[in-house]
Amino acid sequence: MKKDQNGIKMKIRTINDFIKTNQDPEILFWVGCAGAFDERYKKVTKAFVKILNKLKIDFAILGDEETCTGDPAKRAGNEYLFQVQALNNISTLNKYNIKKIVTMCPHCFNTIKNEYPELGGNYHILHHSEFLEELINEGKLISEKNNEKISYHDSCYLGRGNQIYEAPRNIIKSITNNLIEMKRSKENGLCCGAGGSQIFKESEEGKAEINIERINDVQAVEPKTVALACPFCMTMISDGIKEKNLDLKIKVKDITEIIADNLKD
């Protein structure tokens, strides 16, 4: 049992905790680098754990045994480092006979789902938008509904990369009757500017920053909240909102936070 900065108790167990008591978790929660280390995205991790705890879902994390999936290395062109990181993770997951994984990061999701199999890692993995949608459809996750104006930004690795467009939108629709689409959305969505390992390098010469271009799309529909489902997008969109001095007018939240903030008792 752990407590967050507000003193709220969170039940979090490692896979070893389950093994010691001869139990199996319902899911393995793959936290991801951002979910573990990025100060902003740690809040999303806590919101997700809040939901899991409320629904009494037995989940495990790898804890110190979880390392980077290797996605940034692969996108930057370092195939050797990617395979070293991937094989290390696959060895750990196979050691524990892990089958079902849920992750909040589309980059982790895409890598484990589409690139680990050829290295011997075959798992049933869900992005947290798919998992939360399942819980809503099963009647397990019920939220208070309002009329807040929300727009959703598509993550490239979730959308065009894996054709997951409706799950995050259905989650938002369970919260509000006022989901409004930006001009560039779904298959035609605009990248936040972080993909392909771009988030880790200086911007190349050009006429505009991609995230600022995206904020222009946000401004055009005037939402109260921009909803996201990716830590990379969270950083880029939040930075763009702040750069244009819109942070007092427009909130940036992960779909998990929107659900957690509106949970029915």
Residue pLDDT, tens place only, 104-149: 999 999 999 999 999 999 999 999 999 999 999 999 998 888 999 9
Task: Find out whether 30 and 66 touch, Cβ atoms under 8 Å.
Answer: yes
Whether pLDDT at 5 is above 60: no
Give the least confident one: 198-202, 208-212, 226-230, 258-262.
198-202
pLDDT for 163-208, tens place per residue? 999 999 999 999 999 999 999 999 999 998 866 656 655 666 767 7
**In the prediction, which pLDDT does 236 show?**
92
Kindly give, in sequence order, each residue whose CB lies less than 8 Å from that of residue 235, ignoring residues fewer than 6 positions away: 38, 40, 194, 199
Axis-axis angle for helices 128-137, 39-54 (nearest 10): 30
Q: What is the pTM assigned to this prediction? A: 0.92
**pLDDT given at position 143:** 87
- Extract the tokens encoding 56: 């009494």
The pLDDT value recorded for residue 181 is 97
> CB under 8 Å to 51, separation ≥6 — which residues?
132, 135, 141, 256, 259, 260, 263
Which stretches within 21-78 are classed as H helix?
Answer: 32-37, 39-54, 71-75
pLDDT at 264: 76
Please state the rounded mean pLDDT for residues 16-24.
92
CA angle 185, 47, 220 (to 5 degrees): 25
Q: How many Cα atoms sit within 13 Å of 13 on the Cβ side? A: 19
84 and 105 in contact (C-beta within 8 Å)?
Answer: no
- Residues of the chain with pLDDT > 70, as a percent, come to 92
Q: In terms of DSSP H, where are the helices of 177-248?
A: 210-221, 231-243
pLDDT bin (cut points 50, 70, 90) of residue 253 is very high
User: What average pLDDT score do residues 213-241 get?
Assistant: 95
Contacts of 16 (CB under 8 A, 6+ apart): 63
